[in-house]
């Protein structure tokens, strides 16, 4: 019998909602339908603003959570219609929500979400709040995807999965599986593009390709103390944001052209990823890239030059690069209902494994 699950993801880039309907029966992963819809501009702006302290945060966050849940419900309806599947046939939805604070060092992480509202509107059980249990056990609560990467791509010495979302993270598919954030992937480049070009992202890396990496700026950015921390570690907009970048730009003796800043941000992402692979996965023979950055040819070409091994994408293994994270949350929802731990100490540094998420019944 099929075991149908839906995974929903709106990532650090805050550009839209990706959804997957998958059959996860008998350790088999089959994508039945996928969808992607942009977030309304006003909601996207509000979610980004909520990453920083501001007036009336509690009410604004609650209202934003309701609006995000409505976007999630629309994605669910699109998936069901596309596959010709009834809601009653779906075991659960895995919905991560939108991270606006991530401070495991202080014992908390916060994702804007309204899972009860989503369950009410779809008639499907919802599994959410995937990070908190691991954080309570002293872990980072992130990254969440390594257990899924191991299930999807196998335990294979010399193989690494590289997620290129807003933040870059590695999963090292050895035993035990390890994973950690390496630093920014697309997040700073997207924000810089939005400021200067009023575009959501640098399509195909074309703007970065027009510039030249600035050595002085790259040295300053690369000197961020977080980058030198050993795993386990995780990060997000709390650290890597435009205020952080502006601070470093103001410290330079001369201004840097905007396109050169973009080229430098791309080089920062590439160099921190390559250094992380060299330092923590030195025997790597293959890196499997996924996430939006895997569709950026300039980014991928730069990574190919920087990595001492082959670089491919998850599409080679039958999983579209934009589907991996949403599919991971479908898998995490199944793991929760099965009572299987999907947060592992070798990844997060927690005191013990934990079952990720909590369930809101239909």
pLDDT recorded at residue 26: 74
Task: Measure CA of the first residue to CA of the last residue in the chain; give whole Å.
Answer: 21
**How much of the chain exceeds pLDDT 90, in percent?**
93
pLDDT reading at 20 higher than 90 = yes
The mean pLDDT of the chain is 95
The stretch 108-133 carries a mean pLDDT of 97
Q: Per-residue confidence at 90, pLDDT binned at 50, 70, 90? A: very high
Which pair of tokens denotes residue 212?
A: 């030249």
Give the separation between CA 266 and CA 188, rounded to whole angstroms.
9
Give the separation between CA 22 and CA 229, rounded to whole angstroms.
37
Q: Per-residue confidence at 155, pLDDT binned at 50, 70, 90? A: confident
Domains of the chain: 4-142+323-360 (3.30.420.40), 146-317 (3.30.420.40)
Give the separation between CA 128 and CA 32, rounded to whole angstroms.
22
Q: Per-residue confidence at 28, pLDDT binned at 50, 70, 90? A: confident
pLDDT recorded at residue 131: 97
pLDDT reading at 157 higher than 90 = no
State pLDDT tens for residues 211-235.
Answer: 999 999 999 999 999 999 999 999 9
Cβ-Cβ contacts under 8 Å for 208 (sequence gap 6 or more): 189, 202, 259, 262, 263, 265, 266, 298, 299
Query: Cβ–Cβ contacts within 10 Å for residue 245, how many?
Result: 22
More confident residue, 29 or 332: 332
The stretch 114-129 carries a mean pLDDT of 98
Q: SS3 for 127?
A: strand
Helix axes 242-250, 258-280, angle to 10 degrees: 110
pLDDT recorded at residue 225: 98
3-state secondary structure 94-113: EECCEEEEEEHHHCEEEEEC
State pLDDT tens for residues 245-304.
Answer: 999 999 999 999 999 999 999 999 999 999 999 999 988 999 999 999 999 999 999 999
Cis status of the peptide bond prior to 232, with omega within 30 of 0: yes
Q: SS3 for 91?
A: strand
Which pair of tokens denotes residue 341?
A: 């731990």
Task: State the number of CA atoms in the 13 A half-sphere of 284 facing the CB.
Answer: 27
With beta carbons less than 8 A apart as the criterion, state whether 30 and 23 touch.
yes
Q: SS3 for 272?
A: helix
State pLDDT tens for residues 316-359.
Answer: 998 999 999 999 999 999 999 999 999 999 999 999 999 999 99
Q: Per-residue confidence at 96, pLDDT binned at 50, 70, 90? A: very high
pLDDT recorded at residue 321: 94
The stretch 304-310 carries a mean pLDDT of 96
Instruction: Tell me the longest C-alpha to C-alpha distance in the chain.
Output: 66
């Amino acid at each position: 019998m099929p075991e149908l699950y839906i995974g929903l993801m709106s990532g650090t880039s805050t550009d839209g909602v990706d959804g997957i309907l998958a059959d996860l029966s008998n350790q088999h992963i089959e994508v039945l339908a996928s969808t992607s819809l942009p977030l309304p501009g006003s909601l996207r702006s509000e979610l980004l603003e909520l990453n920083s302290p501001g007036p009336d945060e509690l009410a604004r966050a609650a209202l934003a959570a309701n609006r995000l849940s409505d976007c999630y419900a629309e994605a669910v309806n699109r998936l069901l219609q596309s596959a010709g599947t009834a809601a009653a046939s779906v075991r659960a939805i895995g919905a991560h929500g939108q991270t606006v604070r991530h401070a495991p060092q202080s014992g908390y992480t916060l994702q804007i979400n309204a899972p009860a509202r989503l369950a009410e509107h779809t008639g499907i059980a919802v599994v959410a709040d995937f990070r908190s249990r691991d954080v309570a056990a002293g872990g980072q609560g992130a990254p969440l995807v390594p257990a899924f990467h191991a299930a999807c791509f196998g335990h294979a010495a010399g193989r690494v999965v590289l997620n290129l979302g807003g933040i870059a993270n590695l999963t090292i598919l050895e035993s035990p599986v390890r994973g950690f954030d390496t630093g920014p992937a697309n997040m700073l480049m997207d924000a810089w593009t939005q400021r200067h070009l009023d575009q959501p992202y640098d399509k195909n890396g074309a703007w970065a390709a027009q510039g030249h990496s600035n050595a002085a700026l790259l040295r300053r950015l690369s000197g961020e103390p977080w980058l030198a921390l050993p795993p386990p570690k995780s990060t997000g907009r709390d650290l890597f944001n435009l205020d952080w970048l502006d601070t470093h730009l103001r410290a330079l003796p001369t201004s840097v052209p905007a396109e050169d800043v973009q080229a430098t941000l791309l080089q920062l992402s590439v160099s921190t990823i390559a250094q992380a692979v060299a330092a923590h996965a030195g025997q790597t023979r293959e890196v499997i890239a996924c996430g939006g950055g895997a569709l950026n040819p300039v980014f991928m070409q730069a990574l190919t030059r920087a990595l001492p091994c082959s670089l491919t994408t998850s599409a080679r293994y039958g999983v579209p690069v934009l589907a991996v994270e949403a599919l991971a949350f479908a898998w995490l929802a199944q793991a929760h209902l099965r009572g299987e731990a999907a947060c592992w100490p070798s990844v997060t540094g927690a005191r013990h494994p934990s079952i990720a998420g909590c369930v809101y019944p239909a």
